Each structure stands twice: as C-alpha cells, then as structure tokens.
A = this chain, B = another copy of it.
Amino acid sequence: MPRVARPYHHGDLRNAFISEAAKLVESDGVHALTLRELSRRLGVSHAASTNHFADKSALLAALAAQGFEELAQEILRAPSGRSPEVRLRELGRAYVRFARRRPGHFRVMFGSELSDPAPTHLAEARARSLSTFREAVVAAMPEGRARSPQRIREAMFLAWAVVHGAATLILDGRLVPQLLSSVEDTEPLEKMVEHAIGVVAAEIHSGT
C-alpha cells in the first residue's frame, strides 16, 4: 500500500512548526512570523498548531528555549583541555557561531516578542546558558583577588558585549558595505571576529 502524498497525520508537527518558524524569522524577520504563514508553509490547516501550542507566544517560547539549550551545549562543547585563554576564545567563537548557525533562534531569543514574564522552562533554559557562559569567563580569569565581584562583572560584560555585538551586527547585515564588500565575504569577517575575540580573551586572561 503506497504512502499517500499528504498523510492526515503529520508525524512531528510540533517540531516542524518550531523549525519552520526559525527559517521564517531568519529570512523575513520576527515581524513576519505568523501562525497562519507557518501553517501555509507546512501544508496544514491554520488551526492545526493549537494541538501543539496553546497560543503563539507558546511557540515563540519553545523556539527560544530550544535556542538557549543549544547555545549552552555549544558553549560546553568548546574544548577545555587547553589553556584558559584558549578556552575563553573558544567560548566567544561558540557564541558567534551559534548566532550564525541559528539566526532565527537568536533573533527570537534576544528579541522583544517573547511574552513577559517568560514561562518557567524558558526562564530556566536562559539562566542555564548564561551560567555556563559566566562560569567559562570566570575560569579564564587569573585567580586570587582579581576575581572580585566587580572584576567578574566587568569581565562578563566585556565578553558578552563583544560577542553579542558581533553577532548582532553580522546577523543584521550592518557590516556591508562599510566593513565587508558582501555577506558572502566570509574570510575577512572571520578575521575580524577572531581579532575581537582575541583582544578580549587576552585582556580577561591577563586581568589588568
């Protein structure tokens, strides 16, 4: 018995909605994300999503939570065997790499469309990925009194500002044409990111 072209049951519509949402945000921006457009793209009636998401904000929260989980994984996966400074650089690379690989997730995670307050699972996933980031930054700092609360805050802020700014400018296409001839011009971009991350990692590691 041959499989019908469009089975009544989708199979994994929940995840299909999430990943299609990420694609849509990546190509058209958060403001273009509607449940009806997603349903259209998935070839499903526009009421189908209610079986998987209570409402639109639940879908956004699921997408963001998935993003924070993956970001934490990405950070944890950064090689830790080598020197703290190298590890810190890996951390920064991981953040920017994540943003570039999952631009739709990133935009929603750090956009303003999420409902406030965030549902528990999202708040937890976010807190978890930030803790992971924080721990990696602290580990790269010199020991002793250089790890005062003040110093830690400054290091965190510096590291976060650089990687977040880099990711944001890249995703939003701000570097073209002033700093980059085109978005495909990936090699000079890598060099700029490497340089910025290197400066920050060296600074934090030396702990001046």
Q: What residues of chain A have their CB less than 8 Å away from a CB belonging to chain B?
A: 29-31, 110, 112-113, 130, 134, 150, 153-154, 156-158, 160-166, 168-169, 172, 174-175, 178-179, 188, 191-193, 195-196, 199-200, 203
Contact = CB atoms under 8 A, between A and B. Distances in A.
B196 A158 contact: yes
Given A169-B160, A172-B110, A154 B31 contact: no
Secondary structure of the A contact surface, majority rule: helix
A169 B178 contact: no
Contacts of A172: 110, 112
A154 B168 CA distance: 16
A76 to B, nearest CB: 18
A169 B165 CA distance: 9
